[in-house]
Amino acid sequence: MKNRNDTICTKAELRHRAELQLAEIAEHKSTQSQDRLLHELQVHQIELEMQNEALREAAVSAEQALEHYAELFDFAPIAYFTLVNDGSIQQTNFNGEQLLGLERSKIIGRQFAHFVADDHRPLFNRFLKDVFTHDGKQRCEIIFASSEKNHWLAIDAIADSKGVTCLVAMVDISTHKRNEQELQLAATVYLAIEEAIMVSDNNNQVIAINPAFTKLTGYSSAEAVGQPTSLLKSSRQDEAFFQSIWQSLNQTGQWQGEIWNRRKNGEEFLARLSISTVYGQDGQPIRRVGMSSDITEQRKSEEIIRRQANIDPLTGLPNRRLFLDRLQRAINKSHRGHQKLALMFLDLDHFKDINDTLGHDMGDRLLQETTQRLSSCIRETDTLARPGGDEFTLIMGELNELNSIERVAQAMLKAMTKPFQLKNERCYVSVSIGIALYPDDADNLEGLLKKADQAMYAAKNLGRSRFCYFTPAMQQAAENRLWLTNDLRHALADRQIWVAYQPIVELATGEIRKAEALVRWQHPIRGLINPDEFIPIAEETGLITEIGTWVFHQVAEQVSSWRMHHHAQFQISINKSPAQFHNNSDKMLDWFEHLKRLDLPGGCIAVEITEGLLLDGSRTVSDKLLAFKDAGMQTSLDDFGTGYSSLSYLKKYHIDFLKIDRDFVSNLRTGSTDMALCEAIIQMAHVLGMKVIAEGVETEEQLALLLKAGCDYGQGYLFSKPVTAKEFEKLLTQI
């Protein structure tokens, strides 16, 4: 504005001079010639025009500069205000308008303090006073209250030389203030929080801890900082546990769980730990923050509550609540695995009489001892529970074979037959057991409970101290098995057991110099009982030892007779059950003494065993096999090729005979796989110095193929079925 006024004054002066000159010329009537005057006037006119042009150009430049300044002011990236020394707004830019939320026309003339938060107005007024009373730039921070929300503003201001106005620049620092406040809050929380915090760098070195960490672990900041993060590591977790933590941290940056740590004094404690990763701008981990708290006592309390809710306090067994949960889980698992499950209901017989006569204390002691007895009869995977009173339940899951159900039930019945000593009183208490199967009897929890309960009452109705299946067919099988067990105990004494003999023929000559002894049971009512039915019962009840000894005596006397009347090298093979090898009461020495009494060498007897027995590897089995060998008895390996068929045990135990299983022999055809297997077995056995016996020979074609393959002996219906000793002697006389 000053330049423009100067330009206007210059033009007026020039015009005034021109008028004076003209007047002077007119007044004095210069004697100069009119032409010269005209010339001078023209020169002046030209000069005036040139000066006017310069003035116009200067005015345009000034206007352009003013417009440029106004644009810079208006479009500046921060808010600018011009304030008068009384605090009123003289001028602002676009950012100032936006900051105040008003149009410029409504801002000019208003007091700026009106827009400052009430509690910050005194601060602003002091600041404005300082601007006009002190030289140089002044600065302050205030809260600015707009129509929308409050802002933190950083204000810089400087007054003009006359002290009338000041230029004010304002920057919104709200974000910075919030961050600053959050940092202060975080620092306060970090120091005050009850959870222990440990911060580590990307080299797993501790760089900071909070006071709660010291309180929890006993390590001060000076002791912990610089140490590896394994400072608290205990011995309760293996390396696989820590590998899983690092795998989670590397994949997700997070891990949380429970971990056993060790304090400075060596005490171990259970902690709930969460670890978070802090990443740098390049995406690489730069910090890991671990927060932990001691939950040892909490876990103990939870365990107490859990036990109170799920465990019977008297017996320590699962109560009804936990039993039902376990049963449902077992049903679900059996369903997924397509396996059977057995549920047993056990009820003590006449328990009420004990309670009534001896008192509840004695009844409790009886229940505790009953728990111990029943627990000793079950598998580790089974669940024994006490739903209440004198009732017990047993869950047997993952059943691969159903015989185990009966074995456990029989064991529990037997365990309960022993007397209970309750202080000075001896009493007897039996148990009745009901059995239901999933999914045979029911496919849901409620149905299974109902069927097992019904089966238990059926056992009581049948006389107690027994078990009953809910399924009629299985109940019939169980009754049949019980009947067989009871009758088998008397079979030897009643002379129902006898020995059959099947010839073992030397294929090259057709001679019979060997036989296999096979035990038979002729029941007076049921007739001939299949060995597959009564041999397993004999093994389970221990009767196999008594039966085995009796059979050996019969066979020894028979082989003595046949050696005397038919062939001096006659040999009879006897099947020896794995149960006999494992039974320490098996009177093996009696066998050897009996042979001496009959003046028979050990070679008159061959002991037939199965492949599974050799794989047992126990010292008992090994010692008995070697004792047979030392006594001169030969060993025959039955059903070779159907089991594991390891060559190592053939060499270790010096097996004399291999018996090819009947399944291979029955399908013998020229060029067949079974033929190739038979040939391979025969060749291998001969290389190892063993003889081969083929079982199940029934046709002339099979005989011819075995002869061609070099098989040593044959046994089967082609030669003879198992017969009595008298009928066998007829076979010997026919040769």
* 112, 163: one domain: yes
Q: Is 669 inside a domain boundary?
A: yes
User: Strands 497-506 and 512-523, how do they pair?
Assistant: antiparallel
Write the CATH number for 604: 3.20.20.450
pLDDT of res. 2: 45
Q: Read out DSSP for 350-395? A: THHHHHHHH-HHHHHHHHHHHHHHHHTTS-TT-EEEEEETTEEEEE
Of 573, 645, 586, the residue nearest 614 (C-alpha): 645
Structural domain for 456, as ranges: 318-470
* 119, 145: one domain: yes
Matching residue, tokens 């209250």: 145
Tokens of 615: 């794989």
- CA–CA gap between residue 328 and residue 693 (Å, rounded): 53
Judge whether 229 and 206 are in contact, CB under 8 Å: yes
Which of 300, 333, 360 represents a domain boundary (last residue)?
300
* 416, 551: one domain: no
Tally the domains of the chain: 5
Q: How many CA atoms lie within 13 A of 469 on its CB side?
A: 23
pLDDT of res. 27: 58
Tokens of 385: 């529970």
* 556, 654: one domain: yes
Q: Is 180 inside a domain boundary?
A: no
pLDDT of res. 1: 43
Q: How many CA atoms lie within 13 A of 9 on its CB side?
A: 6
Cα distances (angstroms) measured from residue 87 to each of 134, 139, 145, 158, 440: 16, 16, 17, 13, 96
- CA–CA gap between residue 112 and residue 99 (Å, rounded): 12
pLDDT of res. 467: 93
Tokens of 178: 């919030």
* 42, 126: one domain: no
Q: Is 484 inside a domain boundary?
A: no
* 525, 626: one domain: yes
Q: Is 450 inside a domain boundary?
A: yes
pLDDT of res. 8: 43
Across 129-167, b (16+ Cβ under 10 Å) vs e yields eebbeeeeebebebbbbeeeeebbbbbebebeeeeebbb
Q: Is 183 inside a domain boundary?
A: no
Q: Is 477 inside a domain boundary?
A: no
Which of 244, 267, 300 represents a domain boundary (last residue)?
300
Residue 25 makes CB contacts below 8 A (sequence gap 6+) with 37
* 429, 493: one domain: no
- CA–CA gap between residue 168 and residue 112 (Å, rounded): 11
Rounded to 5 degrees, φ, ψ at 283 are 85, 5
* 27, 80: one domain: no
pTM (whole model) above 0.75: no
Tokens of 281: 């701008």
Query: Which uninterrupted H or E stretch holds 614?
Result: helix 611-614
Write the CATH number for 412: 3.30.70.270
- CA–CA gap between residue 204 and residue 287 (Å, rounded): 9
Which of 300, 333, 366 represents a domain boundary (last residue)?
300
Q: Is 311 inside a domain boundary?
A: no
Q: Is 182 inside a domain boundary?
A: no
* 710, 669: one domain: yes
* Average pLDDT, consecutive stretches of 10 residues, N- to C-terminus, the chain (735 residues): 47 62 58 63 72 69 59 77 92 86 87 90 93 91 76 90 90 80 62 80 89 90 91 90 92 93 93 90 88 89 80 92 94 91 93 81 92 93 93 91 87 92 84 94 92 89 88 73 88 94 95 96 93 88 89 95 94 89 68 92 92 68 85 88 62 85 87 88 91 94 94 95 95 80
Write the CATH number for 105: 3.30.450.20
Rounded to 5 degrees, φ, ψ at 224 are -90, -40
* 280, 326: one domain: no
* 62, 201: one domain: no
* 234, 367: one domain: no
